[in-house]
Every structure is written in structure tokens, then in C-alpha cells.
């Protein structure tokens, strides 16, 4: 209730609840320290692939792709893929695979 009170009027009640649950899990299961891997971060309530990859990449210097709509748009143009960028085949699977190939070939 306290978390929702701070988010009142913003329309993000579900996110606020998930954020609060995730924070409680981090305190309870990880002694207040965020996991440093994408797989570990994905176990936290409210954290999906994009957020887990962004946190791991930025905070812990893990060499992983971070894929959003703009990345999918660039990848579709580079590879000549005609799929709509929001199509699950591109944004949820193929876009991550392509981005991972680029990251693997880099010196990050």
C-alpha cells in the first residue's frame, strides 16, 4: 500500500507491486545484493529479459545484448528481414539471436 501510494495517479500499479516483490526477494534471497548475471536477475519478480540484460551490461559489465524495438529495427534493416519489428519472431527470438552474434564478435 505504501509503494502504491507513491505511484498514485501514474497508472503503474502492477509495476510498483512487482518492483516491491522483487526488492523483497533480493533482500530475502540475495542478502540485498543484486545477482550479477542475466539468469540470476531473471529470477527476480518483475525483471524481464531486456531489464536483466541492461542491468547486467551496465552495472556489472557483462557482455550481453540488450534488445529493444530500436535494436530490432536496426537489425532488421542490416539483415534485410522484412518482418514487422514488433513480431514475436523478431523481438522475442531472432532479434536476440542476431544481437548475441554481434556481441560475441566484439571486444566488450
**What integer pLDDT is reported at residue 35 of this predicted model?**
97
Share of the chain above pLDDT 70, in %: 93
pTM of the model: 0.80
- pLDDT digits over 43-80, tens only? 999 999 999 999 999 999 999 999 988 888 888 888 87
What does the pLDDT look like over 79-94, one tens digit per residue?
877 667 777 777 778 8
Among 107, 85, 103, CA closest to 94: 85
Amino acid at each position: 500500500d505504501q509503494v502504491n501510494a507513491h505511484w498514485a495517479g501514474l497508472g503503474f500499479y502492477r509495476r510498483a507491486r512487482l518492483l516491491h516483490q522483487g526488492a523483497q526477494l533480493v533482500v530475502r534471497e540475495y542478502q540485498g545484493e543484486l545477482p550479477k548475471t542475466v539468469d540470476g536477475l531473471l529470477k527476480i519478480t518483475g525483471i524481464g529479459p531486456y531489464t536483466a540484460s541492461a542491468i547486467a551490461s551496465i552495472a556489472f559489465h557483462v557482455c550481453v545484448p540488450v534488445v529493444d524495438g530500436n535494436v530490432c529495427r536496426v537489425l532488421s534493416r542490416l539483415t534485410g528481414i522484412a518482418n514487422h519489428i514488433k513480431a514475436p519472431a523478431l523481438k522475442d527470438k531472432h532479434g536476440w539471436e542476431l544481437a548475441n552474434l554481434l556481441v560475441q564478435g566484439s571486444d566488450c
